[in-house]
Structure 1
Amino acid sequence: MTAIRLPLTHARALRSRARHAHHLPRAFGAALCTAALLTIAPLAFADTHPTGVTAKTLVKSTAAWDQTGYTAYPAGTPEPTLVRITLAPNTPLDWHTHPMPAIGYVTSGQLTVERADNGAQRAFTAGQTITELVDVAHRGWAGDTGAELLVFYAGAAQQPLSVKSPDPRELALDERVKQTRD
């Protein structure tokens, strides 16, 4: 059998490749991941969308409609909930609180909201968003044409979406409450 002799520099190059061949899959994988991230990352953070698709952020907030700041999401298994609420003309809602952040979108009509503790009010009409108060008693009432809204609650499993609160006028007349204030 005849041995084939390669020039010394070519033989060294082949041996060097053989010694480092086990690094190729790792290096190739890293290069592939880097290339994928460089390709995908701009898409993930871009405000552009495919042709025929538009997106508009309707609300993004760290505070409720009256600028009361949000503190945290509830603990537990997340259970996001979307509710359609329809109010007949001039219908009031009871005083209540929400134990989690919630966002409403008025689809039709008008809704006025009011805080129980300081009487602050604000009216919302079709196309507007309402960042709801958390753990603050409030109520709302529909205008002359009624109101319909979609409300997204960022709650946890087994958590109520709202909790009824006493009417502040009744609390003002309640002797037990007066005594705790004195």
Structure 2
Amino acid sequence: MPMIENSLMILLLWAVLGYLIGSIPFGVVVARVMGLGNLRDIGSGNIGATNVLRTGSKPAAAATLILDAAKGAVVLLLARKISGEDAAQIAALAAMFGHCFPVWLKFQGGKGVATFLGILLAFAWPVGICACIAWLIGAAITRVSSMGGIVSAASSSVLVILLGYGMGYFLCILLTIIVIWRHRENIARIRAGTEPKIGQKG
């Protein structure tokens, strides 16, 4: 019984740590540091790299993309190294929640695509690379960043099976649900033909 309780406590600690790291709003921080203003007042008001790009600063958007991806990857790799695979997946899922629902921003965060891809790259790099390619294909065909994210997320559960990483199936399912839920307004705009194109200023 003590071992079970200790294990649950360890998983809980990783969940909390993952959430706190995931909730760091790098888009907001980068925009302020680079003198781009309050990201909440720009474009869609989202804190992700796509909205940072609407400021006209490609370096800021690239920095946001890398940092948002890195926080998901770092959390997973740390948890895996210290406490094993179960802790890694729980920490990664918590980091995704942290990015999308950060306590610092009244639980109004990003859409989660960069963090999602960072998690997949750290979980199993072949899956992550294929998911990134899926994003590129979806975004290139439609010129809509959100469509790339939706395509990437939707393909991830199939990719983990095809590439032999089935232990990540349920993680991918949960991450996909979060990504699609966070994109529900984008999906409505895509259907209406009013979703902004990549690089379009808000």
Q: Which has the higher contact order (CA 8 A, sep 6+)?
A: 1
The structure where helix makes up a greater share of residues is: 2
**Structure ID, larger Rg:** 1
Same fold (TM over 0.5): no
**Greater strand percent: which structure?**
1
TM-score (norm 1): 0.23
